[in-house]
Structure 1
Amino acid sequence: MSENTLSEQELRRLSFSPENQVLPKQNDADWVSYLNSMGMGQALEVQLRASSLIRTLTNKSIHLGFGGWSQDGVRPWIIARQQTLTELQEYLGIGIYSVENNVQIRNYARLKGIDIASLSMSWLVEHRHDDPVISLLLKKRNQDSLLERYRDRLASLQDHNGIVKLSGTWNPYSSYSGRFTAHDMAMTALPKAMKNYFVAPSRRSSPKIYVSFDANQIELRLLAGASNCELLIEQFEDGIDLHSYFASKLFETDQSNVSPAMRKLAKTLIYAMLYGAGVSRLDKIVAKSGLLVRSQPISILQSLYPEVNTLLQRFRQGRVLYYGLKPTKFQPRIGTKWLPSSTKQNLPVQSATALLMKQTLVELSNKVNVVNVIHDELICLCNEGDVDETRRCVIEAIMTAANKLDLTLPLKNMLSTQQLGGNYYDNY
């Protein structure tokens, strides 16, 4: 492994070894030979090339215009919190100062015969259906947490321009699927609305912007290509909204009649099935939505996309693990712990997505300034006039990466492009 040396965590997950297992003392050549023999050679090669690139993301940041965010961005949370406080006042008959204090809420609740044994989030979640006051207290605690984390903590991090630099500490192999993520200020954990308040640092002679390049429905595209599902490939090529289409079948109505709530449920069910949910879990999702479906989700999947269903069953029932949509020689277990069938089903798709994004980063190296990656979304910093060229580079990189990994996926209509926030002029 001359290009880079991988960490013990990376080697452990590449070899599907338990987290607490001490790895055998082997030199680089032995690890290469072993992982090649087990069908993980390609994953190792990609990791060697991508690992250092992923770690450099720790040194990059996205700039947040804190003034706009703290005044306008969090306003919906403040309004929702005030409504929660008003409802608590009405239920308990207490004043505004008392309702701000969780302990006092619990004490007044007890006077009305409502026992709140604990103020912990876990207890409140478990008992949220016992009484409206408990549900409201849980809501208040969640709203307090959002404001404390994403407004109050950030306030002290502003620089002289009122800018907060958002960054994270990156892990190049954070799960056995090969996904790479950041913790601390991980973008995946930030509110979506915050993107509207990003401000790219610019010089007056060279205005810059943040641009999001989001690979739409990458897991479904990979499954379409791997299973050679003609209908699904055709729908991607034609730009059909798969979630609305699936919803029309789910509710037995014309696609033009599909509401946002119906589409949202269809999307949730599609990905739940993709990740191995059974009938019981799907029924719970439908029940929680409050909508009445007319057809069973699994039956629709089987009838519309039989090739995809057959491929998922192959993963689910396989005697070996599939990684990157290809079989390995590993048994489906981590150490002595056998993996559930749902994990056997979703790991091939998640790992293929992770491999594709890592190889895409490799292809974009020294071409595009990638400042953050959120699953299958790349956030880049580029000149205002270079968005089209940057988009072309990203599409070309994804296509090249897929070819090198022997992954087939419909590329048409795949990439959504969105400018995030605005910019500000910094004298640097």
Structure 2
Amino acid sequence: FSPDSPKQLAAALFNKPTDEPPGLGLKPLKKGKTGPSTNVEVLTKMSEDPAIETSIPEHILEYRQLTKLVNTYLVALKEAIQPKTGRIHASFNQVVTATGRLSSSDPNLQNIPIRSDAGREIRKAFVAKPGHVLLAADYSQIELRLLAHLSGDENLIQAFKDGMDIHTAVAAEVMDVAPEDVDGDMRSTAKMINFGIVYGITAFGLARRLGGDVSNQEAADIIEDYKFRFPRITEFLDNCVAQSKGHEDGHVETILGRRRAIPQIHARNPNEKALGERMAINTVVQGSAADLIKLAMLDLHRCLPVEAPGTKMLLQIHDELVFEVPEAEIEPVTRLVIERMEGAMAIDVPLVVDAAHGRDWFAAK
């Protein structure tokens, strides 16, 4: 059968051995428009079910992932190479995203996969020129640090000042245990809350992310505990929404005063209004992070030609900057980049930059 054909795959999995064409006789988990579904959700559940002995679902998932990587990235990246330079020259756009982040196009280099092992392998194709290495410098938890600063929450600020793992610190607070007693599941839950709170996560959304046996009510209780332990954060989130509602165009401002209009905040439709409220919060936090890294980029753009003329800033991937550095100068340039990025803006918590280098982009992470 063809793995690219959902119909043929469904027949191979769900037809009985005596059918034509014969199949494995597995029980369908979900119905699609034209028959039993073979989407990612179904195949993932089948591959994780110990009662299903065949490895076909797992192989199909891997095949689909690799096919997407080849078609979406490898082919497109190869076609984007400039013949004269042997390099890819992408565009970075200043005013495309509503939050103020830079976007990338022709091709989109901010979309190179990092979550899967196979996806990360693509980064090995990006190499430094002879005698040089790639330096990747990444802000650590920048949105959460800005959330601490903007909200003025003393618990969160102190955790960052003490150099604590912020997800462990939040888990200890919310779940009322000592930091040393926080296990992996507790930390994962806290991590989802920390990042989800910036995007206005709901109890339903948190329950889905946590999976397992977590009910909507249990997720709601976790969120309420978070708000109780970090009251200034709740106050800040409410203020973002209130400020948006207080303007005719619904605008909010980032830390440097850049405005974004959010007309959805005045919508009569509850879902659209809720979207506007999430946008108001996200814009202030994520937009302020965009302001910060742009300040760092401007500072580095000015100082590198003077202090490290052989170094070039190549890419901005949201909270990460990538440079091409002469190999002999990597140590002083790394110190310079970290110093400038961490000093780009004075806020109530330390800014922390993690940096690594290597011959290719993969090795620099």
Q: What TM-score, normalized to structure 1?
A: 0.60
Q: Decide which of 253, 256, 259 is 1:323's aligned counterpart.
A: 253
2:287 matches 1:344: no
Q: Distance in 2 between matches of 1:331 and 1:422?
A: 41
How much does 1:295 deviate? 9.2
Per-residue CA shift, 1:116-153, capped at 9, x if unaligned? 5469xxx7549738984997656643342124444566
Q: Distance in 2 between matches of 1:209 and 1:274?
A: 35
Q: Residue in 2 aligned with 1:209?
A: 133
Preserved contact between residue 91 and residue 104 of structure 2 (Cα < 8 Å) = yes
2:204 matches 1:274: no
2:354 matches 1:416: yes
2:109 matches 1:187: yes
Task: Tell me the secondary structure at the aligned position of residue 303 of structure 2.
Answer: coil
Preserved contact between residue 81 and residue 88 of structure 2 (Cα < 8 Å) = no
Q: Residue in 2 aligned with 1:176?
A: 98
After TM superposition, the structure 1 = structure 2 runs for residues 11-410 of structure 1, keeping only pairs within 5 Å, are 98=1, 100-102=3-5, 103-109=7-13, 111-112=15-16, 117=33, 125=39, 128=42, 132=46, 140-151=63-74, 165-192=87-114, 193-194=120-121, 195=123, 198-202=126-130, 207-250=131-174, 253-287=177-211, 296-318=221-243, 319-320=246-247, 321-325=251-255, 332-333=262-263, 340-368=276-304, 369-398=312-341, 401-402=344-345, 408-410=347-349
Q: Distance in 2 between matches of 1:349 and 1:274?
A: 7
Q: Distance in 2 between matches of 1:309 and 1:336?
A: 21
Per-residue CA shift, 1:313-358, capped at 9, x if unaligned? 1002322332214778876416986662111111111111111122
Q: Distance in 2 between matches of 1:359 and 1:289?
A: 44
How much does 1:109 deviate? 4.7
Per-residue CA shift, 1:341-380, capped at 9, x if unaligned? 1111111111111111222211111433211111111111
How much does 1:223 deviate? 2.1
Per-residue CA shift, 1:388-415, capped at 9, x if unaligned? 4334433444466425xxxx24235x11
How much does 1:229 deviate? 2.5
Q: Distance in 1 between matches of 2:188 and 2:342?
A: 29
Q: Which has the higher mean CA deviation after the structures are superposed, 238-247 or 260-269? A: 260-269
Q: Which has the higher mean CA deviation after the structures are superposed, 238-247 or 140-149? A: 140-149
Q: Distance in 1 between matches of 2:358 and 2:337?
A: 17
Q: Distance in 1 between matches of 2:187 and 2:11?
A: 43
* Inter-CA distance 378–289: structure 2 relative to 1 (3 Å threshold): farther
Letter of the 1:174 counterpart = V
Q: How many residues align?
A: 312
How much does 1:228 deviate? 2.5
Preserved contact between residue 167 and residue 191 of structure 2 (Cα < 8 Å) = yes
How much does 1:422 deviate? 4.8
Q: Distance in 2 between matches of 1:130 and 1:330?
A: 40
Q: Distance in 1 between matches of 2:290 and 2:332?
A: 24
- Structure showing greater relative contact order (alpha-carbon pairs closer than 8 Å, 6 or more residues apart): 1
Per-residue CA shift, 1:178-199, capped at 9, x if unaligned? 1111134433321332346643
How much does 1:232 deviate? 2.0
* Inter-CA distance 127–199: structure 2 relative to 1 (3 Å threshold): closer
Preserved contact between residue 197 and residue 421 of structure 1 (Cα < 8 Å) = no
Preserved contact between residue 118 and residue 124 of structure 1 (Cα < 8 Å) = no
* Inter-CA distance 384–355: structure 2 relative to 1 (3 Å threshold): same
* Inter-CA distance 387–236: structure 2 relative to 1 (3 Å threshold): farther
Task: Tell me the secondary structure at the aligned position of residue 213 of structure 1.
Answer: strand
Letter of the 1:386 counterpart = E
Preserved contact between residue 168 and residue 184 of structure 1 (Cα < 8 Å) = yes
* Inter-CA distance 167–116: structure 2 relative to 1 (3 Å threshold): farther
Preserved contact between residue 326 and residue 348 of structure 1 (Cα < 8 Å) = no
Q: Residue in 2 aligned with 1:89?
A: none
Q: Distance in 2 between matches of 1:346 and 1:183?
A: 23
Preserved contact between residue 252 and residue 294 of structure 1 (Cα < 8 Å) = no
Task: Tell me the secondary structure at the aligned position of residue 367 of structure 1.
Answer: helix
How much does 1:241 deviate? 0.4
How much does 1:176 deviate? 1.2
User: Where in structure 2 are there 5+ consecutive unaligned residues?
Assistant: 17-24, 48-55, 115-119, 268-272, 305-311
Letter of the 1:340 counterpart = G
Q: Distance in 1 between matches of 2:62 and 2:338?
A: 42
Q: Distance in 2 between matches of 1:394 and 1:228?
A: 28
* Inter-CA distance 209–300: structure 2 relative to 1 (3 Å threshold): farther
Identity %: 21
Give me the CA root mean square deviation. Answer: 4.1
Letter of the 1:411 counterpart = P
Q: Distance in 1 between matches of 2:358 and 2:332?
A: 17
Q: Which has the higher mean CA deviation after the structures are superposed, 108-117 or 219-228? A: 108-117
